[in-house]
Structure 1
Amino acid sequence: MRAVRLTVYAATAAAALTAVTGCTEKSKAEGDDAIRVTAADSTCETSTKSVPAGQVTLRIQNKGSKATEVEILFPDDRIVSEKENIGPGTSYTLTAEVKAGSYEIACRPGMKGHGVRQKLTVTGGGAAARRDPRLDEAVAAYRTYVQDQADETLPKAEAFAKAVQAGDVAAAKKAYAPSRLGWERTEPVAESFGDIDPKVDVREDGLEPGQKWTGWHRLEKALWKDGKVGAEEKALAGRLITDLKDWQRRVGKAEITPTSMANGAKELLDEVATGKVTGEEERYSHTDLVDFKGNVEGAQKAYELLKPVARKNDPALTKELDRQFAALDALLDKYRAGKNSYDFVSYDKVGDSDRKHLSDAVNALAEPLSKLAAAVVK
């Protein structure tokens, strides 16, 4: 869910999906030659306008007074890679992979609007280095995984929509959380398209000026706060299915790389830190722990697929990640209310102390997970 995010317990960070495939060579923008991005409230400055294709590093510094988001964009505004919630006075390093072509680097103060942009040309000179074939296997397996999640989501979402359209509030509430699991597991892939997430998963406070509120959270509010559905909500349930079918059709065409998988795993943990742990994501239904578990499962899937190469390059990192994933999984299991993957206690029943423990566990995992992208391209 892409929206303005507030931090209660966890330090925020989010690195999103890269969207290119193929063999890569390390860009001269690596290390001391990284692209330096200086963001402010009304400016976005970059240290270079051209880099060679391959691995590229952005060293981002926010000198403005608002949290900002920095994105690498294709000409059609699809996201190649992004970092959200860069707070005032803070810095972040983002590793991505880019192929030859024309791009833009955008800074979005307040994480709103079109943003301030700079052109970036990626040249295709040099021979691409062959990468470990296990990384290609990981990408192929992850592509299958995200398609399977989309395919499995549709019938669950249709059950939810049918309950809404029938005016059956109780049945719709029961179907709501299961309908979201596949989306939550693979959300960075959907966000890479740019236009799907705002239709299906935006919260009211994340709307752009003039944007009509549609999707799951609009219906969540009707079901839990209003306790009823009318003609508008029934129409929105149908639109949700239309938009999710669009996601299902397009997800198989997403361009995925090993670094995008690693960055996406980190982004899923940041989704937990900025929305689920705080209780903001499911503020009416309080089904946050279902989303929480989905995000963790999606991150762990990407990690497990990349693990053979990461373990070879950085065994200490994978040992720590194994430990922290196990600890977070064990902690989440304490809040189960049944044996199904969506049976968790209502999050409004989870006290501040327990939320702090959850936040600490997320942060303990997020720190080593932020190093995964670098480990797989060593």
Structure 2
Amino acid sequence: MRPVRLSVLTAAAVVAALTAVTGCAEKSDSAGGDGAIHVTATDTACEVSKKDFPAGKATIEVENKGAKVTELYLLFPDGRIVAERENIGPGTKATITAEIKAGDYEIACKPGMKGDGIRQQVKATGSGAAEKRSPEADAAVSAYRTYVQEQADETLPKAQAFADAVKAGDLEAAKKAYALSRIGWERTEPVAESFGDIDPKVDVREDGLEAGQDPAKDWTGWHRLEKSLFQDGKITDQDKKLADTLMADLTDWQKKVGQAEITPTSMANGAKELLDEVATGKVTGEEERYSHTDLVDFKANVEGAQKAYELLKPIASKNDPALAAELDKQFASMNTLLDKYRADKASYEFQSYESVKEDQRKELSDAVSALGEPLSKLAAAVAK
């Protein structure tokens, strides 16, 4: 789960996080004259250029004019995520390309990246999203759907091994199983996040709890157990119960994966979201602050992003061959760099992130930026 409080590295630029506010306003339709949906986010408002727009391939242009980091969500009425972009820093802009079916939706700006955000009801009309996809696009979606289901299926036995070790009170076995149990989740996290309710149960950190939640009662999931294992150095009776809760929530995820709304643009946006996960959680050391297994998550995020890209590559290569060539180059460079920190290419035995020096973290951060920039253009390329 992406952090809501970001640490500052002296060698890498990372934006600070914040608190949520409320309020919403509508902007004049004239601002959307270029066909895009323009969203102006501030710390107290979420101005949207149009409440009604054609269904089909849509572009959402977001500008953060506030003083706080924000994020933008396009949501189904039931809260499922259609498209999102997190970590939009003050004074910066972001573009989201998405395929949107006819129907009612909400656009939500979240200053501080917490809470329900500032919401605006919008509607997509017409039949644009019903246009027939190319065979390449259909093949990409089908293969990615298979991939995310496989990752969920493969996660359950690994998570069960972790849970069993916790329930047996075997501290060392639980520590050893912890990072490996998270790989499938980290590879496909944007799909899990699209359901809204599962991610906070499974992957939230203590500082990601909502206002009013009690860590002693409301904090569940991997990171709650991570703290017990790696910081407290003991397994309590409550931890054993939490292991069962984790398995119940992961089983729920595994059953729901097949219902996820997947499109070529959601795959591309999800790949970028995984790189954002790396930039704001793994490079900073925030994600695995007790176990320091950040490099395992880092690698899994990159693998998930690369899988989505490779499935979309036939489309991207046709529509923007220069972009595809750059992405091939940057993914190769990233993987070569990560290989420096593990025993061999076939293993997931990465060194502790505590041992990664500041200049090395800067190198990793620069590589993420070099990959993230072209990856942010993938959705637009596959939507052409």
- Matching residue's letter, 1:239: T
> 1:30 Cα shift?
8.6
Which stretch of structure 1 is more off in the superposition, 282-291 or 82-91? 82-91
Asked if 1 retains the 8 angstrom alpha-carbon contact of 2:339 and 2:345, the reply is no
> 1:329 Cα shift?
0.4
Give the length in aligned residue pairs. Answer: 364
SS of equivalent residue, structure 1 residue 252: helix
- Relative contact order, higher structure (CA 8 A, sep 6+): 1
* Distance change (3 Å), C-alpha of 1:363 and 1:126: closer
- Matching residue's letter, 1:216: W
Q: 2:110 aligns with which of 108, 111, 114?
A: 108
SS of equivalent residue, structure 1 residue 283: coil
Equivalent residue, structure 2, for 1:225:
231
Asked if 1 retains the 8 angstrom alpha-carbon contact of 2:54 and 2:126, the reply is yes
Equivalent residue, structure 1, for 2:186:
184
Aligned-partner Cα distance in 2 for 1:96–1:206 = 27
> 1:337 Cα shift?
2.6
Equivalent residue, structure 2, for 1:317:
323
Aligned-partner Cα distance in 1 for 2:258–2:5 = 29
Aligned-partner Cα distance in 2 for 1:36–1:111 = 20
Asked if 1 retains the 8 angstrom alpha-carbon contact of 2:99 and 2:129, the reply is no
- Matching residue's letter, 1:218: R
> 1:84 Cα shift?
1.1
Asked if 2 retains the 8 angstrom alpha-carbon contact of 1:165 and 1:237, the reply is yes
Equivalent residue, structure 1, for 2:6:
6
Structure 1 length as normaliser, TM-score?
A: 0.93
* Distance change (3 Å), C-alpha of 1:313 and 1:7: farther
Equivalent residue, structure 2, for 1:32:
34
> 1:68 Cα shift?
1.1
SS of equivalent residue, structure 1 residue 33: coil
Asked if 2 retains the 8 angstrom alpha-carbon contact of 1:5 and 1:274, the reply is no
- Alpha-carbon deviations, 1:209-263, whole Å to 9, x = none? 2331110000000001000011111100110000000000000110100000000
- Calculate percent identity across the aligned residue pairs: 72
> 1:116 Cα shift?
1.2
Which stretch of structure 1 is more off in the superposition, 57-66 or 219-228? 57-66
Aligned-partner Cα distance in 1 for 2:355–2:33 = 47
Q: 2:314 aligns with which of 294, 299, 308?
A: 308
Asked if 2 retains the 8 angstrom alpha-carbon contact of 1:11 and 1:273, the reply is no
CA RMSD of aligned residues (A): 1.8
Equivalent residue, structure 1, for 2:19:
none
Aligned-partner Cα distance in 1 for 2:272–2:347 = 22
Q: 1:173 aligns with which of 172, 175, 179?
A: 175
SS of equivalent residue, structure 1 residue 171: helix
Aligned-partner Cα distance in 2 for 1:368–1:339 = 25
Residue 354 in 1 paired to residue 322 in 2? no
> 1:39 Cα shift?
1.2
Asked if 1 retains the 8 angstrom alpha-carbon contact of 2:66 and 2:91, the reply is yes
- Matching residue's letter, 2:326: E
- Matching residue's letter, 2:63: Q
Where does 1:53-92 land on structure 2 (aligned, <5 Å)? 53-92=55-94
Q: 2:264 aligns with which of 258, 263, 268?
A: 258
Equivalent residue, structure 1, for 2:23:
none
Equivalent residue, structure 2, for 1:44:
46
Aligned-partner Cα distance in 2 for 1:67–1:160 = 35
Equivalent residue, structure 2, for 1:199:
201
> 1:185 Cα shift?
0.4
Aligned-partner Cα distance in 1 for 2:159–2:144 = 22
- Matching residue's letter, 1:4: V
> 1:182 Cα shift?
0.3
- Alpha-carbon deviations, 1:57-101, whole Å to 9, x = none? 111111222111111111111111111111122211111111000
Gaps of 5+ in 2: 16-30
Aligned-partner Cα distance in 1 for 2:259–2:129 = 26
Q: 1:161 aligns with which of 128, 138, 163?
A: 163
SS of equivalent residue, structure 1 residue 244: helix
Asked if 2 retains the 8 angstrom alpha-carbon contact of 1:165 and 1:234, the reply is yes
Structure 2 length as normaliser, TM-score?
A: 0.91
SS of equivalent residue, structure 1 residue 193: coil
Equivalent residue, structure 2, for 1:26:
none
Equivalent residue, structure 2, for 1:336:
342
Equivalent residue, structure 1, for 2:120:
118
Aligned-partner Cα distance in 2 for 1:120–1:7 = 35
- Matching residue's letter, 1:136: D
- Matching residue's letter, 2:6: L
Equivalent residue, structure 1, for 2:374:
368
SS of equivalent residue, structure 1 residue 110: helix
Aligned-partner Cα distance in 2 for 1:117–1:195 = 18
* Distance change (3 Å), C-alpha of 1:224 and 1:362: same
Asked if 1 retains the 8 angstrom alpha-carbon contact of 2:319 and 2:381, the reply is yes
> 1:112 Cα shift?
1.4
> 1:3 Cα shift?
3.5
> 1:128 Cα shift?
4.5
Equivalent residue, structure 2, for 1:25:
none
> 1:12 Cα shift?
6.5
